[in-house]
Amino acid sequence: MGELLTIVGVVTLLAQGGAVRNPRRSPADVAAGAKTFRSHCAVCHGPNGEGGRGPRLASGVFYHGNSDADLLNNISNGITGTEMPAMFYEEDRLWQVVAYIRSLNPATGAKPPGDPERGRELFRAKGCPQCHRINGAGGRLGPDLSTIGQMRAAAHLREAILDPDADVRERYWVVSFNDQAGKSHSGFVMNEDTYSVQFMDFDEQLQSFEKTGLKDYQVVKTSKMPSYKGALSDQEVDDLVAWLSSLRPQGGAR
């Protein structure tokens, strides 16, 4: 019932139209918002909003609305088509989270070290476009990197290059099995239930199988991407991270 009242209150507030200003902006509210943010939001956005699995929030640039009301709506209802879930709390507590986000120091969005142009050439030289797509060009086996600089912090990008197994999303788990004729199959899991599995094979073709009769069926939760630890110098890693960090929506903050 409390969650329902919170949702009704937020919907009513947003339906009023016009400029809605955060009523909870005191230092105490910011401190309280920081506690909520770090316990529930930091796992994706970083403890200081620097970004990680989720977008960086410390830059003050928000791609799903910039007003206080937009932020409140995104936090309370989640964002369709993304991994951002709804946060069911009392309205005052949600406003405190908005206050904390507004307080974040833009300096946390400073550019990482490294030469983006050298990183661009390194990205091509290492064959990364075979799996990764940027602005419509490249493969589909790995994540689309067109706006990865806005979605991931530099530290997270570095980790993905040096230790890909540290954070493997379910979308990139690999299924393998032998069919009833003994032919081997493998690919990235797209959907799986008790009776069937759908996956994209490594030729980027969608496949679907009933599980009955499959042999040696397994789903591996490690990354297909190789680690470049030791294969790249520290400077090359810096350059590659700088290039990836520069990939943002057109007109986005640099």
What structural domains and CATH numbers belong to the chain?
Answer: 2-108 (1.10.760.10), 116-164+226-245 (1.10.760.10), 170-220 (2.30.30.100)
Gyration radius of the chain's alpha carbons: 21
Judge whether 142 and 132 are in contact, CB under 8 Å: yes
Q: What gap in Å lies between CA 226 and CA 124, rounded to an integer?
A: 16
133: left (phi over 0), alpha (psi -120 to 50) or beta: beta
pTM attached to this predicted model: 0.62
CA distances (Å), origin 17, targets 46, 70, 94, 95: 32, 11, 19, 17
Strands 137-138 and 184-192 turn out to be unpaired
C-alpha–C-alpha distance, residues 252 and 17, integer Å = 27
Tell me, what DSSP letter sits at residue 231?
T
Query: What is the per-residue pLDDT for 17?
Result: 46
Rounded CA separation 219/24 (Å): 47
Residues in the chain, pLDDT under 70:
1-19, 105-110, 250-254
Q: Which pLDDT does position 241 carry in this prediction?
A: 94
d(CA 190, CA 221): 13
Distance, C-alpha 226 to centroid of its chain: 20
The pLDDT value recorded for residue 19 is 62
What was the pLDDT predicted at 128?
95
Torsion over CA of 153, 159, 162 and 166, rounded to 10 degrees?
A: -140
Structural contact between residues 131 and 226, judged by C-beta atoms closer than 8 angstroms: no
Contact present, 224 and 141 (Cβ < 8 Å):
yes
